[in-house]
Structure formats: C-alpha cells, structure tokens
Chain A
Amino acid sequence: MIEAVQAWFQRLYETTGFNFTIFYDPYDWDRYVAGLRMTLLLGISTILISLVIGAVGALLQSGPSRLLRGLVNGFVVVFRNTPPLVQIFFFYFGLGTLLPDVRSADGLRTPILDNVQWAILSLSLFAGAFNVEIFRSGIEAVPRTTVEAAEALGYTRFKAYRHVVLPLALRVCLPALNNNLINLLKTTTLAYAIAVPETLYAVKQIWSESQNVLEMMLVLLATYAVLVGVLVWIMHRWERALRIPGYGR
C-alpha cells in the first residue's frame, strides 16, 4: 500500500514534473510529520494555557481588588494592541537573554526556557488576553440573581465562579471563543520566526532543498485547511454537547 503510493508519486514526478517529495522520500516525510507534530503541540498547549489564562483573568477582573483589576486590564489592553510577532521577539530575545542560564548535566550553558517554550508562553499570553475579554463578556451575561442564589446556597466566591458562573458563561461565549482559538491556531505559524520547527519551518526546509516550492505550498495550504477544519469541527461538536436542552432551534 505505502509502496504503491510512493511509486505513484514517483511516477507523477517523472511524467508530469510535480515533485511531491514528502510522499515518496521517507526523509522528507519524517521532517514533515515532525513539523506537523510540533504544530499540534503548539496548538493544543497554547489553546489549553490560554483558556486557563482567560478564566483566571476574568475571575480577577470581576474580583474586589482594584490593583489586580488594574493589572489584568493593562495586560489585556497591551497584548491586544501590539503585534504578536513583536511580542514573541520581545519575550524570546528580550526577556530570554535577561534570565540567567542554567548549566546542564554535560556542562553546557542552556537557557532556562528554550524557543519552543517561549513560543508557547508568548502565544498563550497573546490569546489569553483576548480570552479574558471574551470570558468577561460571558460572565456579565450571567445574571446577578444566579450568583446571589449560589451565594445563598453557601457557595464561596471561588466555588460559585467554578461551578455556577463559569459553566454558564462558557456556553454564552463559545462562538467568540471559537473564533479566537482558530485565530490562535493560525498564529502558531509565527513561531517560525524564532526557529521553532513547526509545519511552516519544516516545509520551507523541504522546498529549499528539493526545489519544489509550488508543490510544497499546496501541501502547506491543504495542511492548514485540514487543521483549521478539524478544530472547527471539534468546537462545533463541543458547542452542541454543551448546549442546554430546550434552548435554541
């Protein structure tokens, strides 16, 4: 089966000149799959971390402390209005070089966070800033009376937030969240700029060695179309699973 596919693409190259190396050259294929895996790692981890940042930020923003509210507001405003690429550079080059190095087991000096971790951190903060706003609008849609009812039942502020407010708010803001997470998945390509070997990076390596820019471009477009499609499908399923019965048409 695999041999048949490889032979077919080899023949396609010989007869038409369309050189899809990744489908018959195991070395290129491995690089492509490694890139895809890195994109998935970036995508999934940043989505999860940014959701946590959004939830915690929205909790603090509705909290009693003025200082914390001010801090969260400032974080949201700054991260929403600056380019994510400059944020990544600022974190990776600016803050990364200010942090002290650690000595690894074999005596080499290595930075505390490597480029993949910095990319995850800065992309999560970027998307988290948007998530704070989204969750906040959802929380404000939960009526005051519901919170009061939870308080009357003896919930603490945090427990009421976790068990009552957040589940309701989440359902309200899912469409906006959907958009933001898709945007985040697309923004992971920016990690290319600090040499994180994700899909774009791997594909660029392949096309600069095999001289097949057009073919790999098509593969790249198809890859992201599929990735975004899968995320949209998952989010729609989730939306349907979370749907409150008796609501909507």
Chain B
Amino acid sequence: MSASDRKGPRSEGWPGDLPVLLPFAIPENAPPARLRPVHGWLLCGLAVVALPAWAQAGTAALSPLDVVVKWAPLLLTGFAFNVAISLMAMAIGTVAGIGLGLAMLAEGRVLPRIAWSATQVFRNVPWLVLLFFVMFLVPFQVTVFGIRVPLPDWLKATFGFSLPVMANVAEIVRGAVRSVPNTQWEAAESLAFTRRQTLWRIILPQCTKRMLPPWMNVYALIAMATVQASIVGVTEMLTLTAQVHAAEGGRPELFAPLYGFALLCFFLYCYPIDRLTAGLERRFETR
C-alpha cells in the first residue's frame, strides 16, 4: 500500500511495476541532437580533405567552388521560389485543413466519416503520387464564367503540396481539440454558449498553442518536399541546379558541390525551424 502511495496520483499500473512498464514520457532533460562548435571543426576538416580534389579540377575550367559562387544568385532565386511555393501551399493547406479537422469533429454521422476518410487517404498516399495526381488530372486552364483562367504548372504543384498539408493539419486540429478537457465543453454549455461559439471562442483559442509546434513541423516537411516539383517539370532550385551543371559542361566532379550547395541552402532554412519547434515544444509542455 505504501508503495503505491509513494507513486503519486497515477492510477494505472500495478504497485510492483518496473518503471519501464509505465507509460512512456519523454524525459524533460533529454538533450536533443543539435549543432555544437565541434561540428564546425568537423566541417572545416572535411573542407580541408576536399580541397585537394577541387584543386585537381584543372586550371582551364572554373574550379567547382568558383562555379558555385558564379551561379549562386540564380540558384538562390530558385530557392526563393521553393520557399514561396511552400508558403503558399502551407497557407492553402492550413485553411483547408482547419475546415477538414472541424468537419471530423462535427456532430452527425455522415460528415465526420467523409472527412475522416479524406484525411486518411491524403495522409497515407506518398506526396509524390499526390503531386502526379494533381499535375496530370487538373487541366492547364479552367473556364470560369466565360473567362479562361490559365493554371501554370507551379500553381498546380502548389495545390498538389497543399493536399497532404491539409490532411496533416486536419489531424493536428482534431488531436488538439480532443486534448482539451471535456469540462471546458461542459462549462461553456452551462454558460449557454452554442456549440459554434464554444468551439470558436473557448476551445480553439486554447488549441492554438498546442497546434503551433506540430504545425511548424509540417511546414519544415513541406519546405523540404517542394524540391519534388522538379520531377514533374516545375522550374525550381533542383531544376536550375541540373541546368547549371549542363551549362558548365556537364563535368561529373561538379555534381557534388552543386547538390551540396542545395543541401546547404535547405539545411540553413530548416534547421532554425527545427530548433524553434523543439524550443516551443519544451515551453508549451502541458503536463
């Protein structure tokens, strides 16, 4: 009896359970993987090892480093386009996802079922397949009220990326609303709020804080996924990288530095988001 008393307010589990049998909680003092000065030294070491290889590239042609520097403005424009696509896809996907998530929580039988199946489909299909789906099955122009609106392929790609965002955001919304204690709903009901008022004025404001870290995670994923648009022929950073490589004579030793530059750009963009997300998660821990 005293043993179970000492374990505190938790009710599940037997008194004699090993700690490992208890539900898993991420320890608060876990140091997440992050960069330290030692990594800077490691990278410098790599560069020193790699320099002789670059020096061998010959004097007539530009050295790989010069090629990267020369084309960096063009490649960075492509990267900015990637960022723009990801931001638009995120905006569209978030709005649609909140709608879908609320539909999953709606009263009634039919609407939640439909919303749930849509979410499952769009979450379980590979993003590249969804991208193909939109690229090939959406027409290149639509006629609205007699006006022909062209749909350029980057716009279609944006729609293609916003579909998985929608499904993931819907799951985040559903999870966050479910995590609000039932008592909040009951309290609102006893104060004569309608269901809609309860949702918009009481439940969702409490959810935003919980939804922020996973939402940022989804953003980092979609930012990294935008390069897949190059597979279906949208001109973005990877397409430009391949074109730059061809323009410099297609030398095989150029591949590594050029794609390495693309890796570096995405890393510098996504790593701060990752750190920020982890920081917010620690701060918002609602336990």
Contact = CB atoms under 8 A, between A and B. Distances in A.
Contact of B266 (A82, A143, A228): A82
A108 to B, nearest CB: 18
B256 A94 contact: yes
Given A200-B129, A224-B124, A172 B20 contact: yes
A214 B157 CA distance: 18
A200 B271 contact: no
A86 B266 contact: yes
Nearest to B120: A225
Interface stretch (B11-19, B173-181, B185-193): B11-19
A148 interface: no
A200 B126 CA distance: 10
Given A142-B20, A228-B125, 18 more contacts: A73-B36, A81-B220, A82-B263, A87-B263, A90-B259, A90-B263, A93-B255, A132-B33, A133-B32, A133-B33, A136-B30, A141-B20, A190-B128, A220-B132, A221-B129, A224-B129, A246-B17, A247-B13
A109 B24 CA distance: 53
A138 B13 CA distance: 19
| B interface: dominant SS | helix
Contact of B34 (A77, A168, A190): A77
B228 A85 contact: yes
Given A221-B129, A228-B124, A213 B259 contact: no
B42 A70 contact: yes
Interface string A91-115: 0011101100000000000000000
Interface string B109-140: 00000000000010011111100110011000
Interface string B184-223: 0000000000000000000000000000000000001000
Contact of A213 (B136, B227, B238, B266): B136
Interface centre among A77, A173, A190 (most CB of B within 10 A): A77
Interface in A104-154: 132-133, 136-138, 140-143, 145-146
A200 B128 contact: yes
Interface string B85-129: 000000000000000000000000000000000000100111111
Nearest to A232: B124
Contacts of B35: 73-74, 77
